[in-house]
Amino acid sequence: MSRDMAASSRPEARPDGPDGAEAALRLYWNDARRGRPGGTRMASGEDLDGRMMALALEAAREAAAMGEVPVGAVVARDGEVIARAFNLRETLHDPTAHAERLALTAAGRALGRWRLDDCSLYVTLEPCVMCAGAIVHARLARLVYGVADPKAGACRSLYRLTDDRRLNHRVAATSGVLARDCGEILSLFFQSRRSSAKIP
């Protein structure tokens, strides 16, 4: 599966942006505010991983509904959702607008700090080089992703940036959580895109 992503985050709302982008950014920021500490706490362990990934999948479906590649991400701390994001690269015309990067930005704003060493990131697709770098720089405690990306994955598939001993921080990673669902939504999206391209 290719990693052509766009994501949802809250850079400042652009007054000249399309209605879709403005609506997505408002949704993104509202989610980040609702997810601040004191929000809904979820169960721990594997059940927590599954529940958080299900939330990331919901975000991915929102991306698909906007014509974006369906990847969603959630940042959580102690079982509480801090931020949620989905791809908005096409909508924002931003090559860096991947779900992970925007979720990290939202989490930093929600917590009032860039260091997220007590947080976990849940994302439906293995992060790319850019996002893996952001994950390391954020000092995340843990990464959980759904399906591997053999063409662009930078955590285990092509590179191992998140546990490279040469870097000043390493992130514990768990893969394969709701992998079938995470892979299916991507496969269906690209099948639909290919079918649409064949219609004269």
**Are 107 and 116 in contact, with CB atoms under 8 Å apart?**
yes
Cβ count near 124 (within 10 Å): 31
Active site includes 12?
no
* Residue 181: burial class (beta carbons within 10 Å; 0-12, 13-18, 19+): middle
Cβ count near 134 (within 10 Å): 21
The Cα-based distances of 116 to 16, 87, 139, 150, 152 in angstroms read 32, 21, 6, 27, 24
Catalytic residue among 62, 90, 100, 126: 100
CB-based contacts of 108: which residues, under 8 Å, 6+ apart? 114, 116, 138
- Cα R_g (the chain), whole angstroms: 16
3-state secondary structure of 170: coil
Catalytically annotated residues: 100
